[in-house]
């Protein structure tokens, strides 16, 4: 070590550094142009000059990048003389290269706006960065200096393009003036590495983080391009990585794993847009796929979220989206299910980013907004000005001069129009993944006709191979929530299969005994993070460190390059011991991501994890005040002071553990409820299954056919049998929930059975109170009872479910016979064919043999003002029943009057089949609904056919209304008991529409089936299995840890006024009375397992009688006061 | 030179922002991750819920020299604790009445809903509020 003085500050550093590096080490910035961390010092630009003096000699000006840091040296980096000389040099540089942004910025930093010297308009400063880079790091020397004096320049040998150049682009990258042009240097064509995450719209380095949300969020080296791995050169990334994390020797490893089960979720492949030649994707630069557009819209995308088109990077004024590219065509007779919504979303976001003026037009066949909340979103898009045009354009043409695109289309009114667009987005469909064929050949996984994984509707997460489960778009194109549900479902199947092995690979973490710090004066350690240059690049860390040292009770302060790194954790642990710290502050990033890590660290250092506070000086300081370093430094000090003020007052807290009741309550005995109950039972837990009706089965009792010919009633019988036979399932039919108490892990529910009498299924002496650890809501929904289209006036007007029952009741035979017999000759009595066909539903007495014309009307009670949502299954229901009729007797006319046919996924092929079999589909608009009248006993349905543009009247023998799915009115009461929310349509509202579709925000309560939203049989089963998996995350634990930051009552202050009790959203507070000093004392008691620590009580209390631990009024006040009284030191 | 001088004397408000952990604090983080720039006047205090903030905290801050106080919570319907934000909204009315008693301008106090995905909005609200407080000038209670 040697010591020298820089700017009057004595410093100690290791020997062998230059003055520039020594200054950098102590945080003193010296401007430079030609110096680079990875290259040898060169001394060309002279910007880095400083004053140095040794011993008695007068100070001399020297370039700090080449001058060695010597013992006893006195250095001045900011003397008047230095600054003056530097200004002259930057003026010279500015005159030489007046257009270089980098030099302009440097000049600005040095306070030089303009140069007094006549501009030379050269484009090279002769800094030699490129030459050194090429020779030293790339080992090529493809460029060098040539000429002398004023003729000196950087060039390739003889000014000809080089053969040795490897076209790595390092020279181009490092050049501060933009002089180096790769195509002039090299004979070879440069091949930028396409950034996969941005669909190749921009390029990336060979060492890179694959995408912003990558897990782990760490860089990787692409060995196909890394100059070091390929040619043993470069190593620049190693030089720059301050964490010393670069390891070129890491190799791909093959691991053998022994597993009991496999889940395949290989996703999907995007349809190759280039194969639709008519849209010109491969030839026209402004025809892009929707995924490419998604990346363009992203803040982390190729254009940083600006809406620009690829050809000229200019903002488009008019964008066309073309739907169903690679879906719903002759080769792919399926719907990709997600494209309508992603196009809608992209159009909305594009308008948000680019401004309302941006025109977005979506060319579609049917808008399939069938998911929960989707139709509302579609309506919003229209309000925001997104235009929907019902037409599938046959081609896209490019206009060569403008690179704009021309589309011909036909309007609703039948007019041919041509429009020009700046950008065309192709809504490409989903294809089976490439891997599917391999899984088929290697594992024997059965694929369906399209190449996706085959599954049975009643076993939607199982492959044909035992023990191999499947999920995601591999089984059918699907959106995020369905994917998450199915993933949970697959996990549940594995949990059942491997229930015996559960937990055997888990090792519990052990902590050392916690130190008791009560009564000790605070001894605070403050750790201030550079976060590389994320914080230190803006905030002057050394100032913050010095400042923190003088804060009250702070005994130790340290700065770290990365406070979150593993070695810093070890260091913090050591320092806590060494300095006997009893409080810790980390000033770095956000507690939302890093608090758990640091809490764990101090717990390992025997401190209570709650004696910790973070100051967010990155996300809320350096990153948001990037151009105000001084103010940001001051703010960072304030934030540290506020954190110290709070941590002084923090107290040790304990997370109380409570045992778990390992049983589940399932509310609802329909398909979803029974499926989830069976799943949970299979996993080894007791289930209490409560059904309000006398019999199990719910809506499934009314479903008699499946598209694939399956027999749902047989499945239902088998399901009921399994439920009844399973000794883990305790069944309560004809039973209602009257009260629910407790919280996750330990609920207590009161039930009421029928009229108090045990029924046929219930055993006698069943308790009316059930204790359980989790709740699954599977209460279903019901078919809307239409008030329109003469439903209650004419028995020939029925709902789709009634039609299905009627079809089941009248064997197919009878309709076939109709062809041979004249109507009315026989008098076959109508038979109610199945025991499940309950007498509750009226069936039409229409003789099937007289049936000539069936009319179906879609969206009855759905997608209207009262119920703005889509009921999802009715289109498929209608197609299914129409096919059933046509199969029985092709001569029966079937008309389906629809708004958008929403036969998503593989249901599409049945829609195709229906059209082929002669089912006639006529579209109508929301404001031009069909009209139904009865004239002389004949039902007449009239509407305007939009294709013929003429009114049509159909005489219907049977009018079938596709009535929507509506929520149970009882949902409100149940939601209140469960403390969970309902959505605007009165279905239950999940914790997150996309990512947590089976969870409620309330812990321990889950959701599946129609109670969530309308869905099909396989979707209900999938969600039921998913809910079982989520329930298992709690049931599989022995104990749960309760929140530590919960309310507590200060008995002395509480006078029992009870103001806090009503506002508590969790009903966690009770007013109690007890004897104190011979008098009755009223006070409030907190139910610790129910309180979530929201602090509503604290803000309500006028007497400081109740607080939230860790957020006590005095603790927050301390922060407030610290913020207001800056102690400048 | 003249320019620099005005910079030095320009009033820079000090504003306290109580942000709920689940939405607004996350929104502030997102503003950071997206590098949205806003004035350095803001000091964020993290609370679990906007409904946790006792009116006294706001009054105290404003009478002890804060130039502005803003409470940020989840949008209605998004509250992690069901409806703490709605409670905060009701309390805000009470706070405004108390401010009147103290002779503090209504504009020095705000309640805003900012979700975890609204980084740009966080920056925008903070910029606007800072500008509004700047116009009012320093708090009369400034020590």
Residues A146 and A191 grouped into a single domain: yes
Examine residue A473 and state whether it is found in any structural domain, yes or no.
yes
Q: Contact A1095/B51, CB-based, under 8 Å? A: yes
Structure-token match 């029924």, residue found = A759
Phi, psi of B51 (to 5 degrees): -75, 0
Q: Contact B61/A1124, CB-based, under 8 Å? A: yes
Beta-strand (E) ranges in chain B? 15-20, 42-47, 68-73, 109-113
pLDDT at A834: 41
Q: Of A41, A75, A109, which one is at a domain's C-terminal end?
A: A109
Helix, strand, or coil here: A695?
coil
Q: Are A525 and A517 in contact (CB under 8 A)?
A: no
Residues of B in contact with A1119 (CB under 8 A): 45
Task: Give CA–CA dist B111/A243, Å, rounded.
Answer: 42
Nearest to A1098 among B28, B37, B54 (CB): B54
Q: Give residue A1064's domain range.
A: 1047-1124
Examine residue A516 and state whether it is found in any structural domain, yes or no.
no
Q: Of A1040, A1057, A1074, which one is at a domain's C-terminal end?
A: A1040
Cα nearest neighbour of B8 on chain A: A631
What is the nearest CA distance from B101 to chain A, expressed in angstroms? 18
Q: Of A390, A413, A431, which one is at a domain's C-terminal end?
A: A431
Q: Which of A301, A647, A1120 to mutate to test the interface with B (most CBs of B within 10 A)?
A: A1120
pLDDT at A766: 55
Residues A728 and A876 grouped into a single domain: no
Q: Which residues pair with A732 in a beta bridge?
A: A690
Residues of B in contact with A1121 (CB under 8 A): 64
Both tokens of A980, joined, read 């969970």
Q: Which of B7, B41, B46 to mutate to test the interface with A (most CBs of A within 10 A)?
A: B46
Examine residue A118 and state whether it is found in any structural domain, yes or no.
no
Q: Contact B35/A623, CB-based, under 8 Å? A: yes
Helix, strand, or coil here: A619?
helix
Nearest to A1124 among B46, B47, B64 (CB): B64
Residues A282 and A414 grouped into a single domain: yes
pLDDT at A842: 62
Closest CA to A581 of A551, A562, A607: A607
Report the DSSP pairing between strands A663-667 and A853-860.
unpaired
Structure-token match 């070890």, residue found = A570
CATH classification at residue A1006? 3.50.50.60
**Positions in chain A whose pLDDT score sits under 50:** 758-760, 816-840
pLDDT at A316: 98
Instruction: Tell me the CA end-to-end span of chain A in Å, nearest whole number.
Output: 31
Q: Contact B57/A592, CB-based, under 8 Å? A: no
Task: Give CA–CA dist A229/A568, Å, rounded.
Answer: 30
Q: Contact A1120/B61, CB-based, under 8 Å? A: yes
Residues of A in contact with B33 (CB under 8 A): 619, 623
Nearest to A624 among B31, B51, B82 (CB): B31
Task: Give CA–CA dist A604/A598, Å, rounded.
Answer: 10
Nearest to B83 among A632, A1065, A1124 (CB): A1065
User: ipTM exceeding 0.90?
Assistant: yes
Q: What structural domains does chain B harbor?
A: 12-135 (3.40.50)
Residues of B in contact with A627 (CB under 8 A): 37
Q: How many residues does chain A have?
A: 1129
pLDDT at A839: 41
Question: Which H helix or E strand runs over A398?
Answer: strand A396-399
Helix, strand, or coil here: A106?
helix
pLDDT at A1041: 84
Structure-token match 């912003």, residue found = A212
Q: Which of A638, A1059, A1124 to mutate to test the interface with B (most CBs of B within 10 A)?
A: A1124
Residues A808 and A860 grouped into a single domain: yes
Residues A750 and A614 grouped into a single domain: no
Task: Give CA–CA dist A281/A274, Å, rounded.
Answer: 5
Phi, psi of A546 (to 5 degrees): -60, -40
Quote the DSSP letter at residue A162: B
User: What angle do helix axes A712-725 and A671-682 make, rounded to 10 degrees?
Assistant: 40
Examine residue A246 and state whether it is found in any structural domain, yes or no.
no
Q: Contact B54/A1113, CB-based, under 8 Å? A: yes
Examine residue A953 and state whether it is found in any structural domain, yes or no.
yes
Nearest to B35 among A626, A1066, A1116 (CB): A626
Cα nearest neighbour of A641 on chain B: B43
Q: Contact B55/A1099, CB-based, under 8 Å? A: yes
Examine residue A449 and state whether it is found in any structural domain, yes or no.
yes
Q: Are A1005 and A988 in contact (CB under 8 A)?
A: no
- How many structural domains are present in chain A? 8
Structure-token match 């704009």, residue found = A404
Residue pairs spanning A and B at CB distance below 8 A: 131
Residues A66 and A174 grouped into a single domain: no
Q: Contact A628/B16, CB-based, under 8 Å? A: no
Both tokens of B38, joined, read 């806003």
- The stretch B6-21 carries a mean pLDDT of 83
Q: What's the pLDDT tens digit per position in A857-905?
A: 999 999 999 999 999 999 999 999 999 999 999 999 999 999 999 999 9
Q: A43-69 burial string, b = 16+ CB within 10 Å, else e?
A: bbbbbbbbbbeeeeeebeebbbbbbeb
State the CB neighbour count (10 A cutoff) for residue A1050: 14
Residues of B in contact with A628 (CB under 8 A): 40
Q: Contact A591/B46, CB-based, under 8 Å? A: yes
Residues of B in contact with A1108 (CB under 8 A): 48, 52
pLDDT at A218: 86
Cα nearest neighbour of B61 on chain A: A1120
What is the nearest CA distance from B132 to chain A, expressed in angstroms? 19
Residues A798 and A938 grouped into a single domain: yes
Q: Contact A1121/B64, CB-based, under 8 Å? A: yes
Residues A543 and A613 grouped into a single domain: yes
Closest CA to A540 of A629, A614, A641: A629
Residue B69 has pLDDT above 60, yes or no: yes
CB within 8 Å of A961: residues ≥ 6 apart? A786, A788, A789, A791, A797, A798, A799, A800, A856, A857, A860
Task: Give CA–CA dist A288/A281, Å, rounded.
Answer: 6
Residues A284 and A378 grouped into a single domain: yes
Residues A787 and A935 grouped into a single domain: yes
Task: Give CA–CA dist A361/A368, Å, rounded.
Answer: 16
Q: Are A909 and A333 in contact (CB under 8 A)?
A: yes
Q: Contact B29/A616, CB-based, under 8 Å? A: yes
Report the DSSP pairing between strands B42-47 and A1106-1108.
unpaired
Q: Are A343 and A424 in contact (CB under 8 A)?
A: no
CB within 8 Å of A446: residues ≥ 6 apart? A440, A453, A454, A463, A464
What is the nearest CA distance from B95 to chain A, expressed in angstroms? 12
DSSP secondary structure string, A1022-1044?
HHHHHHHHHHHHHHT-SEEEPPS
Examine residue A303 and state whether it is found in any structural domain, yes or no.
yes
Residues A397 and A286 grouped into a single domain: yes
Nearest to B52 among A592, A623, A1095 (CB): A1095
Residues A298 and A419 grouped into a single domain: yes
Examine residue A509 and state whether it is found in any structural domain, yes or no.
no
Task: Give CA–CA dist A680/A1024, Å, rounded.
Answer: 10
Task: Give CA–CA dist A776/A1020, Å, rounded.
Answer: 13
CATH classification at residue A1070? 3.30.70.20
State the CB neighbour count (10 A cutoff) for residue A792: 12
pTM score of the predicted model? 0.80
Task: Give CA–CA dist A723/A716, Å, rounded.
Answer: 10
Nearest to B32 among A299, A624, A1066 (CB): A624
Cα nearest neighbour of B54 on chain A: A1099
What is the nearest CA distance from A653 to chain B, expressed in angstroms? 16
Give the alpha-carbon dihedral of A333, A336, A341, A342, to 10 degrees: -130
């Amino acid at each position: 070590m040697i010591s020298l003085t820089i700017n009057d500050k004595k410093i100690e550093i290791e020997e062998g550094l230059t003055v520039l590096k020594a200054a950098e080490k102590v945080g003193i910035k010296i401007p430079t142009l030609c110096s680079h961390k990875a290259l040898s010092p060169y001394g060309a630009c002279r910007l880095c000059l400083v004053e140095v003096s040794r011993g008695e000699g007068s100070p001399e000006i020297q370039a700090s990048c080449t001058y060695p840091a010597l013992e006893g040296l006195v250095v001045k980096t900011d003397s008047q003389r230095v600054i003056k000389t530097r200004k002259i040099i930057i003026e010279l540089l500015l005159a030489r290269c007046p257009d270089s942004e980098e030099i302009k910025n440097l000049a600005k930093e040095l306070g030089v706006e303009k140069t007094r010297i006549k501009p030379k308009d050269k484009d090279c400063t002769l800094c030699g960065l490129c030459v050194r880079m090429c020779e030293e790091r790339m080992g090529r020397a493809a460029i060098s200096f040539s000429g002398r004096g004023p003729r000196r320049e950087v060039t390739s040998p003889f000014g000809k393009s080089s053969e040795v150049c490897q076209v790595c682009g390092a020279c181009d990258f490092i050049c501060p003036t933009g002089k180096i042009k790769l195509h002039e240097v090299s004979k070879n064509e440069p091949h930028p590495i396409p950034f996969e995450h941005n669909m190749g719209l921009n390029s990336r380095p060979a060492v890179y983080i694959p995408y912003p949300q990558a897990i782990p969020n760490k860089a990787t080296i692409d060995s196909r391009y890394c100059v070091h791995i390929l040619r043993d050169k470069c190593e620049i990334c190693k030089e720059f990585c301050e964490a010393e994390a670069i390891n070129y020797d890491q190799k791909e490893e093959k691991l053998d794993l022994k597993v009991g089960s496999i889940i395949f979720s290989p996703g999907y492949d995007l349809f190759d847009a280039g194969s639709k030649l008519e849209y010109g994707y491969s030839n026209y630069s402004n025809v892009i796929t929707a995924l490419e557009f998604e990346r363009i819209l992203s803040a982390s995308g190729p254009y940083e979220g600006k809406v620009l088109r690829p050809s000229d990077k200019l903002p488009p004024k008019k964008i066309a989206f073309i739907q169903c590219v690679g879906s719903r065509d002759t080769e792919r007779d399926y719907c990709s299910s997600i494209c309508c919504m992603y196009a809608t979303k992209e159009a909305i976001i594009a308008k948000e980013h680019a401004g309302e003026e941006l025109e977005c037009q979506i060319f579609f066949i049917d808008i399939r907004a069938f998911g929960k909340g989707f139709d509302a979103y579609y309506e919003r898009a229209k309000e925001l000005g997104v235009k929907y045009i019902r037409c599938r354009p046959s081609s896209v043409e490019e206009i060569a001069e403008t690179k704009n695109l021309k589309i011909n289309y036909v309007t609703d009114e039948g007019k041919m129009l041509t429009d020009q667009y700046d950008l065309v987005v192709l809504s490409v469909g989903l294809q089976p993944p490439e891997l599917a064929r391999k899984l088929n050949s290697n594992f024997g996984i059965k694929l369906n006709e399209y190449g996706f994984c085959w599954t049975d509707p009643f076993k939607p997460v199982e492959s044909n191979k035992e023990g191999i489960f499947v999920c995601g778009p591999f089984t059918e194109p699907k959106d995020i929530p369905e994917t998450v549900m199915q993933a949970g479902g697959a996990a549940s199947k594995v949990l059942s299969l491997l229930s015996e092995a559960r937990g055997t690979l888990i090792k519990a973490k052990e902590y050392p005994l916690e130190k008791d710090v009560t009564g000790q004066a605070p001894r605070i350690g403050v750790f201030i993070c550079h976060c590389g240059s994320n914080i230190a690049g803006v905030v002057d860390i050394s100032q913050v460190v010095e400042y923190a040292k003088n804060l009250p009770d702070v005994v130790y302060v340290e700065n770290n390059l990365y406070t979150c790194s593993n070695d810093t954790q070890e260091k913090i642990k050591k320092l806590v011991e060494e300095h006997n710290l009893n409080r810790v502050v980390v000033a770095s990033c956000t507690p939302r991501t890093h608090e758990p890590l640091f809490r764990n660290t101090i717990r390992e250092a025997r401190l209570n994890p709650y004696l910790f506070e973070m100051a967010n000086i990155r996300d809320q300081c350096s990153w948001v005040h990037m151009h105000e370093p001084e103010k940001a430094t001051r703010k960072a000090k304030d934030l540290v002071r506020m954190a110290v003020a709070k941590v002084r007052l923090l107290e040790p807290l304990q997370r109380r553990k409570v045992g778990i009741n390992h049983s589940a309550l399932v509310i609802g005995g329909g398909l979803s409820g029974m499926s989830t109950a069976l799943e949970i039972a299979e996993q080894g837990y007791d289930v209490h299954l409560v059904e309000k009706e006398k019999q199990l089965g719910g809506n499934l009792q009314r479903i008699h056919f499946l598209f694939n010919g399956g027999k749902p009633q047989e499945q239902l019988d088998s399901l009921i049998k399994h439920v009844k036979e399973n000794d883990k399932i305790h069944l309560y039919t004809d039973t209602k929930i009257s009260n629910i108490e407790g919280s996750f892990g330990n609920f207590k529910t009161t039930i009421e059975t029928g009229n108090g009498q045990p029924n046929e299924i219930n055993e006698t002496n069943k308790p009316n109170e059930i204790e359980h650890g989790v709740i699954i809501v599977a209460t279903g929904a019901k078919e809307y009872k239409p008030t329109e289209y003469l439903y209650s006036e004419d028995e020939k007007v029925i709902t789709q479910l009634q039609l299905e029952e009627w079809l089941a009741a009248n064997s197919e035979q009878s309709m076939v016979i109709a062809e041979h017999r004249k109507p009315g000759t026989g008098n076959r009595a109508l038979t109610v064919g199945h025991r499940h066909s309950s007498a509750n539903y009226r069936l039409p007495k229409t003789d099937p043999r007289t049936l000539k014309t069936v009319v179906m009307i879609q969206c009855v009670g759905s997608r209207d003002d009262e119920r703005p949502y889509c009921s999802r299954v009715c289109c498929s229901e209608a197609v299914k029943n129409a096919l059933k009729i046509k199969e029985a007797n092709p001569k029966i006319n079937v008309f389906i009057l629809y708004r958008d046919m929403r036969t998503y996924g593989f249901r599409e092929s049945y829609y195709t089949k229906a059209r082929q079999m002669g089912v006639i589909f006529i579209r109508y608009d929301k404001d031009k609904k069909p009209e139904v009248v009865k004239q002389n006993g004949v039902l007449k349905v009239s509407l305007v056919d939009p294709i013929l543009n003429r009114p049509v009247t159909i005489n219907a023998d049977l009018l079938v209304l596709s009535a929507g799915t509506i929520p149970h009115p009882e949902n409100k009461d149940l939601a209140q008991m469960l403390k969970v929310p309902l959505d605007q349509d009165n279905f239950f509202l999940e914790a997150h529409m996309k990512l947590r579709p089976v969870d409620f925000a309330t812990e321990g309560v889950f959701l599946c089936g129609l109670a969530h939203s309308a869905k099909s049989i396989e979707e209900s089963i999938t969600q039921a299995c998913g809910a079982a998996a989520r329930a298992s995350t709690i049931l599989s634990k022995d104990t749960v840890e309760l929140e530590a930051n919960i309310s507590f009552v200060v008995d002395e202050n509480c006078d029992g006024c009870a103001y806090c009790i009503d506002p508590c959203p969790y009903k966690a507070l009770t007013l109690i009375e007890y004897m104190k000093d011979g008098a009755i004392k009223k006070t409030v008691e907190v139910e610790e397992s129910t309180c979530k620590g929201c602090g509503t009580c604290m803000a309500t209390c006028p007497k400081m009688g109740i607080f939230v631990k860790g957020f006590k009024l005095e603790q927050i006040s301390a922060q407030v006061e610290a913020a207001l009284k800056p102690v400048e030191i | 030179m003249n320019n620099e001088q005005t910079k030095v004397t320009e009033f820079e408000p000090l504003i306290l922002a109580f942000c709920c952990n689940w939405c607004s604090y996350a929104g502030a983080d997102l503003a950071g991750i997206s590098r949205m720039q806003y004035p350095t006047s803001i000091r964020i205090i993290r609370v679990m819920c906007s409904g946790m903030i006792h009116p006294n905290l706001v009054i105290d801050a404003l009478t002890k020299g804060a130039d502005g106080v803003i409470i940020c919570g989840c949008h209605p319907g998004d509250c992690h604790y069901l409806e703490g934000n709605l409670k905060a909204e009701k309390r805000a009315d009470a706070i405004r009445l108390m401010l009147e008693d103290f002779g503090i301008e209504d504009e020095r106090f705000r309640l805003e809903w900012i979700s975890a995905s609204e980084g740009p909005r966080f920056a925008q609200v903070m910029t606007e509020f800072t500008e509004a407080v700047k116009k009012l000038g320093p708090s009369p209670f400034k020590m």
